Structure 1
Amino acid sequence: MAAVSLNGGLVTLIEHIGVAMEDTSNVTLALADASAFEAFKQELKASFSVAVEETFGAVEASLIPSDADIDNSLTAPDAVVHHILLDGVKVGGAIVTIDEATQHNALDLFYLLPSTHGRGVGYRAWQAIEQAYPQTRVWMTHTPYFEKRNIHFYVNKCGFKIVSFYNRYYPLPDDEERGSKAHKLEFFGFEKVMR
């Protein structure tokens, strides 16, 4: 069984074997306001749960950002919350922290609904973020060590370099002060030098 959709005259064929060609739809960003934060949190947690379940066979709550961790990112000084839109429909979100003085900016949280995975939407969303902040000198982010899809995305698709391995001996900066459980997990830290 195959699904066919027409996008601007282009035919995208998705075979039953699960191989998808790149989606040619339009990906844009929209600023999110505080009234959207609760839905943002729930969608982010559901999206992160997919990788945890694929890796460990069950969703383990300690491997998914807590409400408190997400709230800290949503309300951090200099945080900007974006919806990711695919042809005007919300399919994900991103929280970036913009340091106007140094332009060493951070991608704090980034998610896409699982239905968009493997279609090039994430890469185009990342390009939209880069274009929205052209003064950025360095982008920083991190992802759990077990998130192979994310590691591939950041390194092979987006051009980030792995610069740190966070673990119990070298915890994520500021996590212990925030009371986060993240310092108990292992993460890779990434940077992308823009200029």
Structure 2
Amino acid sequence: MAELFTVINTFTLKDPARAEEFEARFLSHVEWMRAQDGFDSHQAVRLTERPEVYVNIGRWRSPQDFKQVLGSQVFQEHAKEFHQLVDVVAAPSLNVLRSGDKAASTPVVVVESVETSDEPETFEKAWSGYLDELAAQDGFRHAELSRSLVRPGAYTFASWWTEGQAYRTARAAVPAPAPGQADEAAHVTAA
């Protein structure tokens, strides 16, 4: 698997009543991003239990490709607009595990934040086994694990499912190797 530079952005609405405005601006921004050199793919989801929170997983072929886009005037203008509507937490990461088929139309995404003091090789090996077990469960579509490049020991595990109950059943049958915060979400956009 080619390791992709992944940026995991968490957007929290300052005013939940402006969700529609944020989504329209974000979708316009996504169209622009798709046309940029080095762009690979992205998935944006809105958390089910906390609908004021969106998570965008953007994948780039290299950190340099993303940095070039990040420094552009258009990106800076979009960022300025977003900061009026949302608080942003960015987590540049390296995609270290992927499994399953493309899941752009899958209705449920689970985003898990996990922290560990284990060495990356040990932690990622354990999660690779976990991912293999999840892939055998009913309703599994796709999953990926990304390691933060700025917070040692911090990972994001995203998994795509045919429905929320399929995830909950699988998780009860196959416990994760490390505890974390798991949030169910629904797609806003994907490419």
- Please give the TM-score of this superposition, normalised by the length of structure 2: 0.28
- Please give the TM-score of this superposition, normalised by the length of structure 1: 0.28
